[in-house]
Amino acid sequence: MNSKPKPAVAADKPIGVFDSGMGGLTVLHALREHLPHEHLLYLGDNARLPYGTKAPGTITRYALQAASHLVERGIKLLVIACNTASAVAMPELSRRFAPLPVVGVVEAGAEAAVRASGSGHIAVLATESTVRGGAYERAIRTRRTDARVYSQACSLFVALAEEGWTQGPLVEAVAREYLHPMLDEKKREGLDCVVLGCTHFPLLKNTIARVAGAGVTLVDSSEIVALAVEKILQASNIKRIGGPAGVRFLATDDTERFARIGSVFLGQSIESGNVELVDL
């Protein structure tokens, strides 16, 4: 009697998630919520963060090294949970690791923004490299040709999130400084959507929303990424259906700090003993 193929072997492989540090844990949180039976392997390249101020060639090299490490561990799908790496290195990552499915946060964020915006006037808050490369503008205008996109580099948001400073007078003052140009000059033209174009920024979501004001929708791509991953897994017949799931953490520097700050991003405690130190 012929035996049927066993997709469970492939299904049991983990989903690899990569970020330059701890910000991508917001994406990991969304993946756990939407896909509770999936094994997850998270790599934070905290030894070399932030990527947002690096040159494109350096970002691509770092991203390839991190992704290669996850691929060598036998993942079934790769999530680029770093907006900067997604904006700069996505074409090379997809080419290098084909046919492995690769999902980036920029495309997901652009899709969500176009759905959320009625006017088509969208602001993108991101890192310097993401803004400079224009990836969000291209992705948004591909989906809506009449879109008006205003981008603002917000590097201090990364530092604030890393320190766990998510609210208070200092955080609000920084948010007002960054959002001031678009609120004064752009809101009169119908700005109705702000994309949080860095996985660190959801930690500051309440403050940013308060400064942006009523009538402006904030878009966090984490949920959209999780839905995109689920769709790919189902189409490829490699979605894990049941059973307990495991999460493993890898970091390239200071596992204790990774665990401490990472717990804030993930929304639950991470023990430093559960974070493996790796050398890329």
Name the residue among 38, 41, 131 with its Cα closest to residue 81. Answer: 41
Asked if residues 15 and 77 have their Cβ atoms less than 8 Å apart, the reply is yes
Task: Measure Cα distances from 245 to 135, 224, 264 in Å.
Answer: 34, 21, 21
What is the number of other CB atoms lying within 10 angstroms of the CB of residue 246?
Answer: 10
* Tokens of residue 69, six digits: 């490490």
Candidate list 28, 171, 194, 198, residue with the active-site label: 198
Active site residue 193: no
Name the residue among 46, 138, 122 with its Cα closest to residue 88. Answer: 138
Whole-angstrom distance, CA of residue 104 vs CA of residue 84? 10
Task: Measure Cα distances from 56 to 5, 49, 197, 233 in Å.
Answer: 43, 14, 17, 30
Name the residue among 119, 98, 116 with its Cα closest to residue 108. Answer: 116
Q: 33-46: string of b/e by CB count within 10 Å (b at 16+)? A: eebeebbbbbbbbb
Candidate list 82, 154, 171, 193, residue with the active-site label: 82
Query: Exposed, middle or buried: residue 185 (CB in 10 Å: 0-12, 13-18, 19+)?
Result: exposed
- Catalytic residue positions? 82, 198
